[in-house]
Copies of this chain bind each other. A is one copy, B any other.
């Protein structure tokens, strides 16, 4: 378990986002790009979305972190992702990969694998099917959601092994997110049990999480592992609080309440509500 003091230290990373207001350059998908921008603003970061290859490297060089999300990748945005990722990494800025739907099409799988091969990611966050695809080099995801077989196959131990293996292979902090999130840098293994089932009944929960991870990493690049843990707890706890307020109202209200909860979260509430656990 985490001591109270450790939790308080992790929760203070939220305050760091609010104080430093990191600029987060997202090349993301058209479905949830507005949610990502509003989630970043809600936690205190400054979003900038720019996906043309004519400016991707230049904007990335201005940013404190870059988030690459392949949710609606296309011929225009794929080259921009490589340009932005390499530009930021060359300056030592954290780059986050969200391999949405890796395994669902050759284009997604190959693009995600090429990105992992060419960009030194600081963080890779995906669901069980996506991370499994990155580990295996191929996949059979149904759409962009986690395949239930992948969630059930072996439980937390199997997910931890996958996360740890990918982390060692890539040098990135790897987060496999789902009902329980697993976080590993190859040596440390942490489970995060925040969150609420309603989060999977709206689009954008995963994308917002990756964007918010960019915000936390951009504010605290020297503490990446803790920054990702703090982001997972922040979004999960915001989901719990949003469900308390809006579950009976419906999923439209839940979506609004999720952004509300992010914007109202402070580090005391976060420290009190985070459900972090060391594994192994």
- Residues of A at the B interface (CB closer than 8 Å) are 23, 29-35, 37-38, 41-42, 46-55, 58-59, 62-63, 71-76, 101, 104-108, 142-145, 201-204, 249-253, 255-264
Q: Besides A23-B143, A30-B49, A250-B263, 12 other CB < 8 A contacts?
A: A23-B142, A41-B251, A46-B145, A47-B203, A50-B101, A54-B74, A55-B108, A58-B104, A58-B106, A250-B257, A251-B263, A252-B255
Interface of chain A: mostly helix, strand, loop or mixed: mixed
Smallest Cβ-Cβ distance to A37: which chain B residue: B203
> How far does the alpha carbon of A198 sit from the alpha carbon of B106 in the complex, in Å?
42
Question: Which one, B55, B104, B201, contacts A106 given CB within 8 A?
Answer: B55
Measured between alpha carbons, how far is A41 from B32 in the docked complex, in Å?
14
Question: Complex formed: what's the CA distance from A258 to B38 in Å?
Answer: 14
Give A46 to B29 CA distance when docked, in angstroms.
17
7 cross-chain pairs, A with B, having the tightest CB-CB distances, nearest first? A250-B260, A252-B259, A55-B105, A37-B203, A52-B74, A252-B256, A251-B263
A32 to B52 alpha-carbon distance, docked (Å): 17
Which of B31, B48, B71, B249 is in CB contact (< 8 Å) with A143?
A: B48
Query: In the complex, which residue of chain B has the Cβ closest to the Cβ of A61?
Result: B105
B50 touches A252 (CB 8 A): no
